[in-house]
Amino acid sequence: DTAVSQTPKYLVTQMGNDKSIKCEQNLGHDTMYWYKQDSKKFLKIMFSYNNKELIINETVPNRFSPKSPDKAHLNLHINSLELGDSAVYFCASSRMGGGHNEQFFGPGTRLTVL
């Protein structure tokens, strides 16, 4: 009965490769997010989708491309991986935007770029 799930949990890859992280939520939420947590544990919003529409794109390099095939899924594709992309990526969802709504986070995907 996992609420927000992500795959894979760990991802180790070489510089220059392309990789994807998948996220699914079974909470019936309309809004989904991607956050990046760096080595100092700082959490920063990357993208937000509401009803499959992109709402927020926070100055993320265009090597990162989110895709939302339906309201329950928000995948993250990363092209030409760089060393600086190494981080933990969290998917989250909430019932709606507009404030006051709890965001539920997935378990994270630890990406290591060698």
Partner 1 sequence: QQQVKQSPQSLIVQKGGISIINCAYENTAFDYFPWYQQFPGKGPALLIAIRPDVSEKKEGRFTISFNKSAKQFSLHIMDSQPGDSATYFCASLSNSGYALNFGKGTSLLVTP
Binds partner 1 (CB under 8 A): choice among 11, 24, 36, 48 = 48
**Burial class for 15, CB neighbours closer than 10 Å (0-12, 13-18, 19+):** exposed
Q: Is 53 in the site for partner 1 (CB under 8 A)?
A: no
Residue 74 found at the interface with partner 1 (CB under 8 A): no
Size of interface with partner 1, in residues (CB under 8 A):
27
Burial class for 105, CB neighbours closer than 10 Å (0-12, 13-18, 19+): middle
- Residue from 41, 69, 83, 84 binding partner 1 (CB under 8 A): 41
Residue with tokens 């989904």: 32
- Rounded Cα distance between 29 and 100, Å, is 14
Residues that bind partner 1 (CB under 8 A): 4, 31, 33, 40-45, 48, 50, 55-56, 58, 90, 92, 97-100, 102-108
